[in-house]
Amino acid sequence: MRLDFPRFDGIDPFSWIFKAEQFFEYHNTADDQRLMISSFHMDGKALQWFQWMHRNGQFHTWSEFTRALEISFGPSEFEDHQGKLAKLLQTSSVSDYQSEFEDLANRTTNISTSFLISCFIWGLRSDIRNEVMAHKPTSMA
């Protein structure tokens, strides 16, 4: 099976890092090869950023690189993703709400499953919420 390495243009660094790490794990890529491989798959402003950072010795390891990438292209560290998650409300389809919920949940850490379930259920429209609560879910699935 052939797996393509993901391209990065500066949008959604967390998803790109996840895909890149999955690729590296699958191919058993050594840490010292990861930066070189990544550099071939950068586009636009991400490539310009990489060139400048690399030339100026701003990172030497995959870990340093991913941290710099998150800082430069990720959301502000001052955003309260857990707070947004707790206040998220369904305004369109359940599928759209679930997608937005999962996006925020992926940006949080150290939150219990029961809290996530509670946030998800209470953000649903009331008619749907009542149906879901009747089933007393114990997992996000």
Taking the C-alpha atoms of residue 92 and residue 26, their distance in angstroms, rounded to an integer, is 37
Does residue 18 sit within a domain? yes
Does residue 7 sit within a domain? no
| pLDDT per position as a tens digit, 16-67 | 999 999 999 999 999 999 999 999 999 999 999 999 999 999 999 999 999 9
Does residue 45 sit within a domain? yes
- Both 85 and 33 in a single domain? no
- Both 96 and 69 in a single domain? no
The residue range of the domain holding 116 is 81-134
- Both 95 and 130 in a single domain? yes
The CB density around residue 49, as the number of other CB atoms within 10 Å, is: 18
What is the distance, to the nearest Å, from the Cα of residue 30 to the centroid of all Cα atoms in its chain?
Answer: 23
Domain finish residue from 25, 56, 73: 73
pTM for this predicted structure:
0.60
- Both 113 and 65 in a single domain? no
| pLDDT per position as a tens digit, 6-18 | 999 999 898 999 9
**At which residue do the structure tokens 């390891």 appear?**
61
